[in-house]
Amino acid sequence: MLKTKLGKLALPNPVTVASGTFSLEYKNFYDLNKLGAIITKTITPEPKIGNPPPRIYETKAGLLNSIGLQNPGLESFITNDLKQYQGFSNPIIISFSASKISDFIMVLKRLEENIIIDGYEVNISCPNVENEGLAFGTDEKIVYQLTSQLAKVTSKELILKLSPNVTDLTLIARAAEDGGATSISLINTLWGMAIDWKTGKSFIRQGIAGYSGPAIKPIALAATYKVAKAVNIPIIAMGGISCMEDVLEFIYAGASAVAIGTSMFSNPLLPIEIINNLDNYCKINKKSIRELKGKVNF
């Protein structure tokens, strides 16, 4: 009853994990095979040490982060980390990003050499150095260009992760679909900031940060609904999910799957709890995820 599908991947259930908050350390808390899919932390062509601290700040209803895509880089990931994902029964999706289209293509071609990978989540929220520093995900023409070139390289699941920091997210989503994306992931973090009113000092060293957590759920839900109406490819929805009821809202809005992120910091077992609760709900109500998808009523 929990089975769902992305473009080319069958998932045992609709619950996966957000790339920015997940690592294999969670295997110390539960069997990762129980997840609908495993999505890795984002990797980049070269290693990144991330932004200087302070780079995390907890607000009243969410979390600000300015980690800066800290990661070991592509070659170190392939040599040292990728082998740790062998043996899982659920799909393995690699998240990656870059600052030039040529680098996106290079990363994908290198990853394509590894058969244990089932799909890719392409993070297009990073600055595009070829376009005056604007994020790739803010320009539908660039999104189409990038996606169409990546789609020529792989026959595996190709997920474009979209930023909400745009005027019209449906335009970006359509560009990704037209370019050959097989599914869409949304939303990435919103822009946010926190300042100490006593001193005027920013709580984040970089000033502006990514905002996630419960406060963004209504925004993410609306984005999911709008994009689901605009495209024909599946959606992995995320943003403020902290319980089974939240997951059902996103399914009703049109999502095929969801990703749990910030809430895992306070409850590492949350994805498994949600899967179990969702299974019980579907059995009691004799409904499947596919039957509920996109069935919001007014």
- Are the beta carbons of 143 and 136 closer than 8 angstroms? yes
CA-to-CA separations, 58 to 89, 203, 233, 247, in angstroms, rounded: 35, 10, 34, 23
Within 10 angstroms of residue 249's Cβ, the number of other Cβ atoms is: 21
- Are the beta carbons of 174 and 148 closer than 8 angstroms? no
243 is catalytic: no
C-alpha span between 136 and 129 (Å, rounded): 9
- Are the beta carbons of 141 and 175 closer than 8 angstroms? yes
- Are the beta carbons of 43 and 94 closer than 8 angstroms? yes
C-alpha span between 89 and 212 (Å, rounded): 30
Q: Write down the catalytic residue from 6, 107, 126, 159.
A: 126
Q: What amino acid positions are annotated as catalytic residues?
A: 126
